[in-house]
Structure 1
Amino acid sequence: MSRTQVAQSTQAFRLDGRHALVTGGASGIGEATAKELVHAGAFVWIADINLYSAQELAKSIGSSQALHLDVTSPESIHSALSHIGHLDILVNNAGIGHVGSIQQTEPEDFDRLLNVNVRAVYLVTRAFLPLLLATSAAGGLAGTVVNIASVAGLVGIKQRFAYCTTKGAVVAMTRQLAVEYPKTLRVNAICPGTVETPFVEGYLEKFHHNNKEEVRAELRARQPIGRLGRPEEVASMVRYLASDEAAFITGSLFNIDGGWTAA
């Protein structure tokens, strides 16, 4: 074994030999997570509806493979599942947002967010659950699920009725799964504040095209640390939660929000 291999084997939070799937893995927090898990030694399935972007990312980071996945489609999920024979880590990251109060949220908007942010987490987790449980049954550590929720699932945010509702549901699903499978599956959620991602840029472009920088400054200011989060900061927590060092952690929520929920 080379010096480099020895150093890697003794490094904290290693994931050598483990297989992970990251939904929405081609951009933003998902992209950063795929990179971080590969860096930790895992093989990563980069699952995204944008197959080209997933393929380009897989080429650039190695130890990974792109996988087309529409998380809202049982057929697409079944097709993805057919390619995977072993899975240790599932990261439910795919999601969408919406701006509006309850009066401004039309039923079709509400249904769309429920479909992507809640039902899809159910569909994907349910489909891959047998593989995750098989990890424990084979004598290994418990399979791991990390859900990317949001501070919006913990506190009320104006003009985010549907988004808060769906992320609150993700928090509830996380806790329920943790107590349903306490010895064979570890399930935790990360609740980011506002993170500098294409998701946020798309929101600014769509809803605040004429005053983007003004609103961006407001987003920074509502987090006491005074800046937006970085995708890599969330990805580092995913890596930790998937590692052996986190073996006693399940059913927990981790706020990465610059102090937002503490204020």
Structure 2
Amino acid sequence: MRIRFITHGPDHPLIAATAALLTPRHQVDVVDPALSSQPSGRVDVCLLKARTPSALDLAQSYEAQGAVVLNSAAATALCQDRTEMDRLARSAGLPFAATRTVADLARLTAEGDLPYPLVVKSRHSRRDDLVARVDDIAALRELSRTWPHEPVVVQEFARNGGWDHKLWVIGDDVFAGLRRSELAVADTGPTLPLTEADLPDGWAELARAVGSVFALDVYGVDVVETVGGAPLIVDINAFPGMRGQTGPPRALAALALRAGTPPGLGRPVR
């Protein structure tokens, strides 16, 4: 089978470990969309790790050739727009943090009386984007000076224990970790590994439901446990890095083989 990774980081641990599992029996390579804007040869499966416009364009080209792309370019793009993410999640009944969109922080500051604390995020998810807790008007004005033209989304801060549950899904496999929230501390520290059995009842099923709603095969769901124990989804990411986890490379290799193999044929990863 011909399998290609679309990524800006070929040495990423998840990519390198997955490629090592697949290489003995399959043709595996990596393409950097910043260096190659057009498909090079036909492939059966593409694993879309990058999320830049050039990466999405390249993935669409492979889709047009008939390759299976995980995740699709459309699903990856949707997860970069937090306004659309909120719309789809809440229309599907997922417990997603109520979100509204503001053109820029100056307009938000001009609104006056706001229900602090707030969580302010860049509307468009990307590396080093804006994610901040804002406790008062002074902090909001300071943020506005730093990010004067940034389109943002605004959420009311949900009281919680200060920990983010990181749920990662590859196909039907759920992996998890616990990390201090970046809204609670300056240094989040390491992500503590969890098993699916460590999660509260129903959380793994909730994570899998996100994939069905967003047409994702490889993704992350950030969940906080609110006062009273209810889960609240605060972000969804297409193809996260899943660092510090031992199971994802094998699950990802198996998913790639399932995606590229006609039904009825065996495709174990050994």
TM-score (norm 1): 0.37
TM-score (norm 2): 0.36
User: Structure 1 or 2: larger strand share?
Assistant: 2
Larger Rg: 2
